[in-house]
């Protein structure tokens, strides 16, 4: 499973190992129609900002300023909401983390399912 690369086990299993957020995002459990993440659905449904940002990204990838224009939210709110949704596994950054301008985000498969569910249950 490690692609033929040598892997050494850390001396202590409890020591955290650094990882990029893209690696962390890819290991989050998949949300399927059969096993929806109700915690994530509830979190998105309870926040107008989360719902609006995720709904916009479910349409197509976008930059924070494009999302702000489409949703009417302040850019600072969009940026904070994107960070929150990334941590929850609903959104991913499509460009390198180091890029400061032209940061393009997209809804993950889980995020698209959550956006659909939130629309069904009638969020905030």
Q: What is the pTM assigned to this prediction?
A: 0.71
List phi, psi (to 5°) of 94: -90, -15
How far is 52 from 71, CA to CA, in rounded Å? 6
99 DSSP 8-state letter: -
Give residue-wise pLDDT tens across range 2-30.
444 444 444 444 444 444 444 444 444 45
Strands (E), the chain: 91-93, 105-107
Give residue-wise pLDDT tens across range 79-88.
999 999 999 9
**Average pLDDT of 86-101?**
96
List phi, psi (to 5°) of 37: -90, 90
Could you tell me if 108 and 90 are in contact, meaning their C-beta atoms sit under 8 angstroms apart?
A: yes
How far is 95 from 74, CA to CA, in rounded Å? 22
Domain boundaries, the chain: 35-121
How far is 30 from 37, CA to CA, in rounded Å? 9
Given CATH 3.30.590.10, say whether it is the number of domain 35-121. no
pLDDT-above-90 percentage for the chain: 65
Could you tell me if 78 and 2 are in contact, meaning their C-beta atoms sit under 8 angstroms apart?
A: no
Give residue-wise pLDDT tens across range 30-68.
555 566 789 999 999 999 999 999 999 999 999 999 999
């Amino acid at each position: 499973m490690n692609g033929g690369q040598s892997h050494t086990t850390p001396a202590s299993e409890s020591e955290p190992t650094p990882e990029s957020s893209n690696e962390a995002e890819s290991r989050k459990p998949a949300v399927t129609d059969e096993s929806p993440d109700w915690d994530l659905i509830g979190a998105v449904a309870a926040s107008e900002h989360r719902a609006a940002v995720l709904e916009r990204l479910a349409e197509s990838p976008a930059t924070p300023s494009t999302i702000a224009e489409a949703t009417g939210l302040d850019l600072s709110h969009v940026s904070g909401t994107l960070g929150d949704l990334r941590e929850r596994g609903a959104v991913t950054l499509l460009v390198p983390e180091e890029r400061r301008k032209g940061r393009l985000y997209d809804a993950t498969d889980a995020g698209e399912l959550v956006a659909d569910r939130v629309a069904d249950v009638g969020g905030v």
